[in-house]
Copies of this chain bind each other. A is one copy, B any other.
Amino acid sequence: MIKKMILEAKNIRPSREGFEVAGIFNPAVIRCGKETIMLARVAESAVQNDPDYFLVPVASAQGTIEIVRLPKNDPAYDYSDKRLVRNCQHTYLTSISHLRVARSMDGEHFVFDESGIILPGGIYERFGIEDPRITKIGSTYYVTFTAVSECGINVGLMATKDFRHFRRLGNILHSDNKDCVIFPKKIGGKYLALHRPSTSEFGKLDIWTAESPNLIDWGNHKIMTSARIDYLPCSRVGAGAVPMATAKGWLVVYHSADAANRYHLTAMLLDKNDPNIVLMRSKHPLVEPTETYEKKGFVDQVVFTCGLVADADQLCIYYGVCDQNIAMCTIPIRDVWDNMEAIGA
């Protein structure tokens, strides 16, 4: 396996004055002919230039970004988590994420489209849009994403044919839910998705499937695989890259985090005709934080994928590292299969 960091937050230009880029990470990636197109999550925070107030960026209904000023020395505000500010009524994010389009001819060096910026807007995206996944169906690219706001964490859908014009198609899954990926074709006459509801009291952070006749309306929600407690002590799992059709079934690369929030990427093989059935899983993690840039950053020990590209003999996995930068790794397909074992084996 070859790993390398390919995009760093420190080299990314903020979208506006008074802002700085806190991270570029968790990119969706799709191969379009000879080009590799990336939709990267860019998290920006306000430059903190007020001695008394902490500045929190929030998207307005009109599509502009406004600053909410929170008193720094008010004990009602909890600043202990650098990603969040809480008081007893509200939770804010310290940064706001948008999506940016980039293109590459070699899959490694990406150039950003000048006008390719998708900003959050409207009440479901007040705190940003995050973690996109791209699925091509027919001639349309469908992008699932996480929409964060005072309305919770919803899964939104947008569609594009050219990565220039994006059409919002509403919340396809209600709060709280994230890590939604849509399969690239109908199975048994229905579209299928993986998703990850957040449950409050009874459930665990598991991967679910849902079906849809039209990509907009989803039902028949089923739990798919439990949080790998049989495999590695783990607090949550979530779908990663869009499922990939292989001769053996659907190959899905997904993430798992342990109780200390150390992430790794792993793979599972789903039945071709009923992806609710897991046939095989990785014996050992596929990608773990081993490099310094995977271990230390805005959030330590995070490797998180939203997209991969498959060549004839290797997988090229793109992943966010430490909620800050983007890395990629290439793994021979043979190694991925050699690392799989049948469920129950």
Contacts and interface: CB of A to CB of B under 8 A. Distances in A.
Interface of A is mostly: strand
Nearest to A191: B217
A280 interface: no
A210 B203 CA distance: 23
Interface in A169-196: 170-177, 195
B210 A213 contact: no
Given A152-B203, A202-B149, A202-B152, A220 B173 contact: no
A30 B175 CA distance: 30
Contacts of A137: none
Contact of A197 (B124, B176, B222): B176
Interface residues of A, number: 44
A217 B193 CA distance: 13
Contacts of A220: 170-171, 216-217
A145 to B, nearest CB: 14
A338 interface: no
Contact of A171 (B91, B217, B222): B222
Given A199-B175, A202-B149, A214 B216 contact: no
A164 interface: no
Nearest to A219: B217
A54 interface: no
Given A208-B174, A213-B214, A127 B202 contact: yes
Interface in A210-235: 210-214, 216-223
A329 to B, nearest CB: 31
Most buried by B among A148, A149, A208: A208
A10 to B, nearest CB: 29
A50 interface: no
Nearest to A84: B201
A199 to B, nearest CB: 4
A171 B219 contact: yes
A301 interface: no
B152 A219 contact: no
A156 to B, nearest CB: 10
A214 B213 CA distance: 9
Interface in A96-125: 123-124
Most buried by B among A84, A203, A214, A216: A203
Contacts of A208: 174
Contacts of A151: 202-203, 206, 223
Contacts of A127: 202
A199 B221 contact: no
25 contacts: A91-B201, A91-B202, A123-B223, A148-B202, A149-B202, A151-B223, A152-B197, A152-B202, A153-B200, A153-B202, A173-B174, A173-B221, A174-B177, A174-B195, A174-B197, A174-B221, A175-B199, A176-B197, A176-B201, A212-B219, A213-B213, A213-B214, A214-B217, A217-B219, A218-B218
Nearest 7 interchain pairs by C-beta: A152-B203, A217-B217, A217-B219, A152-B199, A174-B221, A171-B221, A170-B220
Given A151-B202, A217-B217, 13 more contacts: A150-B202, A151-B223, A152-B202, A170-B220, A170-B221, A170-B222, A171-B220, A172-B221, A173-B221, A174-B208, A212-B219, A217-B219, A218-B218
